[in-house]
Amino acid sequence: MKVSAVKYLVVFAIQVKNLLEYKINIYLKLIRPIIMVAAVGALWLVLFKVTGRDSIGGFTRKSFIIYLLVIRYIAVFSPGGASITEMNEEIRTGDITMRLVKPMHYMVWLFARNLPIPLVSGIAGLLMVTLLAWFFGAPVPTGWSGVLFCLSVTAAIITQYAFYQGLGILSFWIYDVFPIERFYKAVSGLLSGELIPLTIFGAAAQSILQFLPFASLAFIPGGIYVGLFPFSKAIILVVSQFIWAGFFWILVLWSYNRGLKKFEAQGG
Amino acid sequence: MINDISFDIKEGAFVGYIGPNGAGKSTTIKLLTGILHPSAGDIRVLDFNPQKDRYQYTYNIGVVFGQRSLLEYDIPVIDSFLLYRAIYELPEKDFQQRLTEFTQLLELDDLLHIPVRKLSLGQRMRCEIVASLLHKPRVIFLDEPTIGLDALSKHEIRNFLRRINQQEKVTIILTTHDMDDIEELCERIIFINVGNIIYDGPLKTLKNNYATHKDVEIVFDNPITVPPPFEPLLKSVDHNIYTFSLERRDTARLIPHLLELGNAKDVSIHEPRLEDVVKIIYSNNSL
């Protein structure tokens, strides 16, 4: 299959134009992570105060706030959430047919279409995290740790997007995937370290959970950023992230091809 | 679902693919466009297998589904056209040339810079058709392209399609419930019902074979009394206009007798409309 990147760049550009029609949505998406961090962070600050401890699960107050910010913006960077909605809607109404009769790959088209918001939010988020890290005096990973952090974030975004695409692809078999999405978000929120760092669960549970795909989404990149892991262990964790990312993308593409063959194209 | 259907279409033909709701029309179009995968059988369009060669094949086809949109809802029409220029990798010169031509033919000048959401259905459909033709497809699939349109919009779209078919020798397969579309545009009809082809041939033959009656409308200057032998032939009376339904073979013989029933001012003979023929076929459920 001949693939031209230019057409997807135009899809991206057109989508930027689409989004600019509703600018308020962009501002809200930029602000939302800060509110969520403030809410979760406030709970943890209370916990620090009540217990009177300087460190919980290997996190200080500062490192915990930075950890929360980092993982929240990694989630924002992932162009996935909107694609579930769009894919579910297009598959169940049959509107995906209008994409399938064009010389383009639907999954790449969807990616190009869903990239603008996370790209803008993610870049703004990175700047904000860096500023806040500087403000709180938290260590910013540099050198090889910095490289590992970037690789870890990349793997996290790729895996997160694979999960979201997988959920969207389920629409070929299940009419409404939103209950499954909600379930996934609840499980992922708990097991990824998004709400509670996995170190809180104790050493035994952590040793298993950190190698599950969910940890790839938040705990590993967040932990690398705040220096939670020794360098050698961080390398192993990042490698495991890419193995999961590869595995899930193979699964997603396989499922997509199966789904297309099963597709019934509702409506006239 | 469709069963064991088989047909060939010559390049440049304008074919009407008709049938009642649920007959399998849209399913066939989705199979021909590569959207659906057949459980058995072989499909070849322009020497492509629509499913296996989907990517390359779609450069050669244009598709309009009347109930779905090719255009981006929130942005001006021209941006959607520019998007398709990129998707079909059209050279700038070819794109501009076709856009200018279509814009003039369908009077789109004032619409190009309006967001799609602000267009009327008729305006949007004209733009949808242009979007499906910018890349100069060799085959066009039209699924209910005039659904919900007013008479003027239908007329404009039909004229445009006829012109494209004749000038560019593009093959057009039209699925519709609007028999006026078929009657005005198609020389061949494929009639499908319950997943099977029940007629495939010229429109004229379908009418000749199936529509056994013609309507003869006579205007008398005063009300008349229709004698018993002609009573069964009387279809309707509207003031002094009397409509008789005559068998084709008897039409020429009976008209002089009917004219003698009163002081006839005018007479006209109506060929059966395809709409009426199709109604009869639907109600009989066979040919």
Helix axes A106-114, A5-20, angle to 10 degrees: 40
| For residue A194, pLDDT beyond 80 | yes
Q: Is B8 on the interface with A (CB under 8 A)?
A: no
Q: Is B180 on the interface with A (CB under 8 A)?
A: no
Please judge whether B58 and A101 are an interchain contact, meaning their C-beta atoms are less than 8 angstroms apart.
yes
Please judge whether A101 and B33 are an interchain contact, meaning their C-beta atoms are less than 8 angstroms apart.
yes
Structure tokens at A204: 């035994």
Distance between CA A50 and CA A41 in Å, rounded?
14
| Cβ within 8 Å of residue A187, ≥6 positions away | A214
Quick check: helix, strand or coil at residue A102?
coil
Q: Is A23 on the interface with B (CB under 8 A)?
A: no
By residue count, chain B amounts to: 287
Dump pLDDT digits (tens) for B216-275. Answer: 999 999 899 889 888 999 999 998 899 999 988 888 899 999 999 999 999 999 877 787
Q: B92 and B219 in one domain?
A: no
| For residue A29, pLDDT beyond 80 | no
Indicate the residue of B54, B70, B89 with minimum beta-carbon distance to A98: B70
pLDDT tier, A267 (very low <50, low <70, confident <90, very high otherwise): low
Q: Is B59 on the interface with A (CB under 8 A)?
A: yes
Please judge whether A98 and B87 are an interchain contact, meaning their C-beta atoms are less than 8 angstroms apart.
no
Which of the residues A3, A97, A109 would you substitute to probe the B interface, choosing the one with the greatest number of B C-beta atoms within 10 Å?
A97
Tally of structural domains, chain B: 2
Backbone angles phi, psi at A25, to 5 degrees: -60, -40
Q: Is B86 on the interface with A (CB under 8 A)?
A: yes
Structure tokens at B147: 């659904």
The mean pLDDT of A141-155, rounded to a whole number, is 89
* Contact call for residues B23 and B193 (beta carbons, < 8 A): yes
CATH number of domain containing B244:
3.30.70
DSSP label of B272: P
Q: B216 and B79 in one domain?
A: no
What does the pLDDT read at residue A83? Answer: 77
Domain ranges of chain A: 19-262
The mean pLDDT of A122-151, rounded to a whole number, is 78
Q: Write the DSSP assignment of A114-146 as a string of letters.
A: HSHHHHHHHHHHHHHHHHHHHHHTPPPP-HHHH
Distance between CA B65 and CA A137 in Å, rounded?
59
Q: Beta strand pairing status for B139-143 and B171-175?
A: parallel
Candidate from A80-89, A221-230, A240-249, B35-44 with smallest mean pLDDT: A80-89
What's the Cα-to-Cα distance from A50 to each of A44, A65, A67, A194, B189, rounded to whole Å?
10, 17, 21, 22, 81
Please judge whether A6 and B36 are an interchain contact, meaning their C-beta atoms are less than 8 angstroms apart.
no
* Contact call for residues A224 and A73 (beta carbons, < 8 A): no
Identity of the residue numbered B73: Y
Please judge whether B65 and A2 are an interchain contact, meaning their C-beta atoms are less than 8 angstroms apart.
no
| For residue A174, pLDDT beyond 80 | yes
User: C-alpha dihedral over B152, B158, B161, B163, to 10 degrees?
Assistant: -90
The mean pLDDT of A203-232, rounded to a whole number, is 90
CA-nearest of B98, B106, B225 to B155 is B106
Q: B225 and B203 in one domain?
A: no
Q: B219 and B202 in one domain?
A: no
- Phi-psi label, residue B195: left if phi above 0, alpha if psi -120 to 50, beta otherwise: left
B220 DSSP β-pair partners: B264
Does some domain include residue B84?
Answer: yes
Q: B216 and B198 in one domain?
A: no
* Contact call for residues B170 and B21 (beta carbons, < 8 A): no
By residue count, chain A amounts to: 268
Does some domain include residue B260?
Answer: yes
User: CA of B112 to nearest chain A CA: how many angstroms apart?
Assistant: 15
Indicate the residue of A10, A18, A264 with minimum beta-carbon distance to B86: A10
Q: B229 and B196 in one domain?
A: no
* Contact call for residues B85 and B134 (beta carbons, < 8 A): yes
Per-residue pLDDT of chain B (287 residues; tens, 9 = 90+): 788 889 999 999 999 999 888 888 888 999 999 999 888 899 999 999 999 999 999 999 999 988 888 888 888 999 999 999 999 999 999 999 999 999 988 888 899 999 999 999 888 989 999 999 999 999 999 998 888 888 888 888 999 999 999 999 999 999 988 888 888 899 899 988 888 888 899 988 887 777 778 889 999 998 998 898 889 999 999 988 999 999 888 888 999 999 999 999 999 998 777 877 877 777 765 54
| For residue A1, pLDDT beyond 80 | no
Q: B77 and B53 in one domain?
A: yes
Distance between CA A256 and CA A264 in Å, rounded?
14
* Contact call for residues B146 and B66 (beta carbons, < 8 A): yes
Q: Between these two residues, A33 and B22, which has the higher pLDDT value?
A: B22
What does the pLDDT read at residue B24? Answer: 86
What does the pLDDT read at residue B151? Answer: 87
Domain-terminating residue out of B207, B230, B261: B207
Does some domain include residue B278?
Answer: no
Distance between CA A162 and CA A242 in Å, rounded?
12
pLDDT tier, A79 (very low <50, low <70, confident <90, very high otherwise): low
Q: B126 and B38 in one domain?
A: yes
Does some domain include residue B281?
Answer: no
Instruction: Give the distance from CA B196 to its chain's centroid.
Output: 20
What does the pLDDT read at residue A3? Answer: 59
Identity of the residue numbered B38: P
The mean pLDDT of A71-81, rounded to a whole number, is 74
Q: Is B241 on the interface with A (CB under 8 A)?
A: no
Does some domain include residue B79?
Answer: yes
Distance between CA B211 and CA A233 in Å, rounded?
84
H or E stretch including B207?
Answer: helix B203-210
What does the pLDDT read at residue B220? Answer: 93
Angle at B273 between CA B269 and CA B274, to 5 degrees: 150
Structure tokens at B180: 């006026």
* Contact call for residues A191 and A209 (beta carbons, < 8 A): yes
What's the Cα-to-Cα distance from B205 to each of A240, B184, B210, rounded to whole Å?
70, 15, 8
DSSP label of B45: B
Distance between CA B173 and CA A143 in Å, rounded?
63
Q: B158 and B102 in one domain?
A: yes
Structure tokens at B195: 């997943």
Does some domain include residue B136?
Answer: yes
What does the pLDDT read at residue B2? Answer: 82
Q: B217 and B198 in one domain?
A: no
Reported ipTM: 0.78
Structure tokens at B166: 């004749």
Q: Is A86 on the interface with B (CB under 8 A)?
A: no
Contacts of B1 in chain A (CB under 8 A): none
Helix runs in chain A, H state only: 5-20, 23-51, 61-77, 81-93, 97-100, 106-114, 116-136, 143-169, 178-191, 203-209, 213-217, 219-225, 231-262
* Contact call for residues B69 and B149 (beta carbons, < 8 A): no
Angle at B150 between CA B144 and CA B155, to 5 degrees: 75
What does the pLDDT read at residue A221? Answer: 93
What does the pLDDT read at residue A57? Answer: 83
- By residue range, what is the domain housing residue B231? 212-270
Q: B263 and B154 in one domain?
A: no
Distance between CA A127 and CA A124 in Å, rounded?
5
Please judge whether A98 and B68 are an interchain contact, meaning their C-beta atoms are less than 8 angstroms apart.
yes
Please judge whether A4 and B89 are an interchain contact, meaning their C-beta atoms are less than 8 angstroms apart.
yes
Does some domain include residue B1?
Answer: no
Angle at A189 between CA A187 and CA A192, to 5 degrees: 95
Q: Write the DSSP assignment of B115-128 as a string of letters.
A: BGGGS-HHHHHHHH
Does some domain include residue B282?
Answer: no
